[in-house]
Homo-oligomer: A and B are copies of this chain.
Amino acid sequence: MWYSLQATVTDGWNLYSTHHERGCSMVDNPLDKMMNPASIAFAGASNTFTTMGTIQCMNLITGGFPGEVLPIHPRETVVLGRKAYRNVAELPHAPDMGVLVVPTRLVPDMVEEFGKIGTRNLVIITAGFRETGEHGGELEKDLAERARRYGIRFLGPNCLGIVNTQLPLNLTVAPIQDLDGCLGLASQSGTYIAQVVSYLHRNGIALSKAISVGNETDISLIDCIEYLGADEHTRAIGLYIEGIRDARRFLEVASRVSRIKPIVAQYVGGSEAGARSGSSHTGAMAGPAHLYEALFEQAGVISVDTIEEVYKVGWALATQPPLSGRRVAVLTNSGGPGTAIAHTCSREGLEVPEFSDDIQKQVAGLLPGHASARNPIDLTFHIGMETLTETIPRILFSSGEVDAVIIHGIMDTGFMDLLLPAIQKFVPVSREDLAKTMMIGLEPLVDMPFRYGKPLLISSFFGTEDHCIQTFHEHRIPCFDSPEKAARAMGAFLRHLRFRQRPPANLDGAGTPPPEAVRIVERARKAGFDEFSAKALLRAYGIPTAREARAATLEEAKACASTIGYPVVLKACSPDILHKTELGLVHLNLADEAALEAAYRALRSRDQDTPVLVAEMLRADRELMAGMTRHPGFPPCVVFGLGGIMAEALDDIAVRLAPLGMHDACEMMESIGAANVLDGFRGMQALDRNLMAQVLMGLGRLAIHFPLISEIDLNPIMVVGGKPVVADALMVTQNGTQGPRTGKCTP
């Protein structure tokens, strides 16, 4: 068995090369060795069955692990039937991996001992490090430093173990019930790996690999995504996330993997109480929900709200063929679930198209008179199960009119067993005999999704007590216990289709800054950016701004105005002045030289020295805004929304992480709630998306080139004849020449 499993692992590597060509490199992923060790030293197990370490080691030994297990115990000579060793130094050889479930204070020394004998992979389950405060943080640094010194890669600390159902290998507290599955999990909460075995089994879900990442001191959640992405047995990936420390790498890895395999993730963070709990747990960094929305969208990660969806939607994506269009057939034997599925499909952006006359005629011939054949098909209660499980599904799958099928209402023994006691009061029938007449042969149905290459999802109010549900579980057809959940899961298939169909993420970097931009920033480095220099910098990135000039005297201002052409705008221009409008330092719509002069004198009456800016007066039918903010651990965040006060009032903004591709910029515009304002709304000219995308992409490049600039606020961007023109620009630099404004465009 051990050898055949090795062969499987080798096949895995063959697949890697394929993946590698498709951009899914996994060279030197530290998890590869860790998930497939030939020998494991286990420190922290005894013969007392109430301790976590003992239970974990017991599961390792009894769970079919084909390699060697070497318990380490200071006193016991035999642990769980295996010879035990007093310490690491006494081990007969350096095992491929060590597992530590020992008291916190012993961990750093033991890491070093493993290093000395040559073991290079550790799973550190012990808790009590960074997540507990300063002292724990010091201990963690110490252990990390010692591991680094010996070239040791490790998972944890404060994790709950790993699972590889293909080997099998199980280091968690719960025995694995289903081997050789195809959903891979990685979680920042150990319980979602270790305490869900029974739940997954009840729902027919079989894992391929599962990894509790703990404090991610060395191996991170991102390494797990990379590993699972390359693992041939893993067909979809589920993640539980409380915070990502390196969003840039997450984006790189996940966007590559998600083009091949669906990734489903729950992000829990952003709320104060959630953060309080999260930080006490893994010390991971929570951030505003907007940032993670952007990150997941760009990375092609399907975001869900519950851990249930991580498992169940992940399982559906792992087992079913991918969706290739948005048309769904809904087949039920009762109206409510059909209506609910159709309604939820619509919400998810799927279509439940009325069938062609031809298909309706074929289906109607199989239905009682009062049943509907239009889609949803409602067979009503009266009909035999075969119509629901074979005849009509075959018509639907082969029709060419739909891309997926959802069926509600298939059941046999679950319902039969409910009725049996009553029936037996009248007829002397045995369960066996009754079951023979009632049990449905589902073989044709469970084959259809794979034969026709279209996903099939099942909804049923019965569980594993029903033979049909058991059969679906055996054949890896996903079952949902509420009609809406099946429809929502189908929505996840659609999101993955969208991710697969779009161009690859823009990961090429931002190139080098234009020489003119470098000069402008150098000049602004000390003095800060005034509006004029900020706009000059924008223009260096091809971002259109209002035509304008800086003037120091009235005569200069007049000359500028006559070059630009009346009417003009006159405003004070200094890096030290914020909120010009509120201070009365902006004069709009100056029709002629007289008006200009009056405005100039008004400005000078308040301020003798500041230069003034003479700009063209823009006539816009809409105002937009764009901006840039920075967040620790994240690439620069480019923000887009309606201009003026609306973006702030409505919190209706879109965020993307730089650098942006054209696709990101366009999707960003369409994703604000008020996106229809960008179209030819109320007779206005539609926004030139291409030009606006240049603004957003330019902002992203600029932000990458100049980390000195901590914040940018372009508001308003006037839409003139459909073209965006920046009318006001604010840039804040890190050296604090200009303090940050109120969090106007902070996502």
Given A131-B370, A335-B278, A370-B136, the answer on whether A273 and B199 have CB atoms closer than 8 Å is no
Digit string of A251-276 for contact with B (CB within 8 Å is 1, else 0)?
00000000000000010111111101
Contacts of A351 in B (CB 8 A): 273
Given A277-B342, A340-B268, A380-B127, the answer on whether A307 and B682 have CB atoms closer than 8 Å is no
The CA of A704 and the CA of B306, in the complex, are separated in Å by 45
Given A198-B462, A305-B484, A370-B131, the answer on whether A346 and B426 have CB atoms closer than 8 Å is no
Indicate if the CB atoms of A461 and B196 lie closer than 8 Å. yes
The CA of A378 and the CA of B482, in the complex, are separated in Å by 31
Contact partner of A336 among B276, B307, B674, CB < 8 A? Answer: B307
Q: Which residue of B lies closest to A309 (CB)?
A: B482
- State how many angstroms separate the Cβ of A21 from the closest Cβ of chain B: 36
Contact partner of A191 among B268, B280, B336, CB < 8 A? Answer: B336
Contact partner of A58 among B52, B276, B370, B423, CB < 8 A? Answer: B423
The CA of A682 and the CA of B644, in the complex, are separated in Å by 11
A338 within 8 A of B: yes
Number of A residues, CB within 8 Å of B: 116
Indicate if the CB atoms of B378 and A281 lie closer than 8 Å. yes
Contact partner of A370 among B127, B462, B682, CB < 8 A? Answer: B127
Contact partner of A160 among B281, B343, B381, CB < 8 A? Answer: B381
Which residue, of A173, A338, A646, has the highest number of chain B Cβ atoms within 10 A?
A: A338
Contact partner of A173 among B195, B381, B425, B683, CB < 8 A? Answer: B381
Indicate if the CB atoms of A340 and B307 lie closer than 8 Å. yes
A219 within 8 A of B: no
A496 within 8 A of B: no
The CA of A280 and the CA of B378, in the complex, are separated in Å by 9
A542 within 8 A of B: no
A372 within 8 A of B: yes
Contacts of A337 in B (CB 8 A): 189, 191, 307
Indicate if the CB atoms of A277 and B195 lie closer than 8 Å. no
A30 within 8 A of B: no
Contact partner of A645 among B276, B421, B482, B681, CB < 8 A? Answer: B681
A347 within 8 A of B: yes
Binds B, one of A412-420, A598-606, A631-639: A412-420
- State how many angstroms separate the Cβ of A492 from the closest Cβ of chain B: 16
Q: Which residue of B lies closest to A678 (CB)?
A: B649
Indicate if the CB atoms of A278 and B339 lie closer than 8 Å. yes
Contacts of A240 in B (CB 8 A): 336
Contacts of A306 in B (CB 8 A): 340, 482, 484-485
A477 within 8 A of B: no
Contact partner of A281 among B63, B174, B198, B338, CB < 8 A? Answer: B338
A233 within 8 A of B: no
Contacts of A375 in B (CB 8 A): 273, 276
Indicate if the CB atoms of B271 and A342 lie closer than 8 Å. yes
List 23 A-B pairs, Cβ < 8 Å: A174-B415, A174-B418, A175-B418, A175-B422, A190-B381, A191-B333, A191-B335, A198-B462, A242-B336, A272-B346, A273-B376, A274-B339, A274-B343, A276-B354, A276-B374, A307-B482, A308-B481, A308-B485, A645-B677, A646-B646, A646-B674, A650-B650, A652-B673
Known: A47-B426, A189-B337, A199-B462. 12 other contacts (CB 8 A): A52-B381, A59-B422, A175-B418, A177-B418, A196-B461, A268-B339, A278-B335, A308-B482, A649-B674, A649-B677, A649-B681, A650-B652
